[in-house]
Amino acid sequence: MSIALHMAEDGDLPAIVALMNAAFRGTSGKQSRNVEAFITGSRTTESLLREEMSDGVQYLIAQEESTSALQGCVSLEDLSGGRWHLGALTVDPALQSAGFGSRLLSSAEEYGVARGAGAMEITVVNVRDALIAWYERRGYRLTGETRPFPYGDARFGTPTRDDLEFVVLEKRLGERER
């Protein structure tokens, strides 16, 4: 069952920031299984989201129909040639472990396909084995490529370990999940 996604507007940014910080940094009373305990500080800010959006990143949001409460968000960027980058897949901690993240991911992939995406790439911090496995169960494959972690850039928080990097996963869209 697909989730209706809407393009985020400037007025949505405070709710997106709150959701991402709750899900990735544990800043709400809700327990999230995705808390990145190896990074302290905020996951994002409104100014960082605005900067990304001005660079062509699209933030899509999923809202509860009757209340318009933010349930999740995801970012997509057209890298060219049918290759897109998916990032910031975020689910309200109260909805985690209920299949909402899988549905949000599928809806984001459908959104990309409708706009010419033939492949989707994601980057995941290398120490997040459970998250990497979650993406692999949804058809993403490790490419062998890594990218540096932004040490020294406090906009993304402060890492508490020195062995972080991003691994790149890719999925050819239209392939069946295994």
Q: Which of 48, 47, 52 is nearest to 76 (CA)?
A: 52
Determine the pLDDT at residue 115: 95
Mean pLDDT of the chain: 91
Question: In this predicted structure, what is the pLDDT of residue 177?
Answer: 45
Which of these, 72, 61, 60, 68, lies nearest to 115 by C-alpha position?
60
pLDDT bucket at 178, cuts 50 / 70 / 90: very low
- If one compares 110 and 37, the residue with the highest pLDDT of the two is 110
% the chain with pLDDT above 90: 72
Q: Residue 176 pLDDT more than 60? A: no
Q: Which tokens in the block code for residue 104?
A: 């949000």
The lowest-confidence range among 26-40, 93-107, 142-156, 157-171 is: 26-40
Local confidence band at 98 (pLDDT 50, 70, 90 cut-offs) = confident
Tell me the per-residue pLDDT of 12-27, one tens digit each, with 9 for 90 and over.
999 999 999 888 887 6
- The answer on pLDDT for 31 being more than 60 is no
Residue with tokens 């290398």: 126
26: left (phi over 0), alpha (psi -120 to 50) or beta: left
Whether the full predicted model's pTM is greater than 0.85, yes or no, is yes
Q: What is the pLDDT of residue 29?
A: 56
> What is the arithmetic mean of pLDDT over 148-161?
89
Q: 32 and 65 in contact (C-beta within 8 Å)? A: no
pLDDT in tens, 35-50: 788 888 888 999 999 9
The CATH homologous superfamily for domain 6-172 is Gcn5-related N-acetyltransferase (GNAT) (3.40.630.30)
Determine the Cα–Cα distance for residues 162 and 86; give it in Å rounded to an integer.
Answer: 25
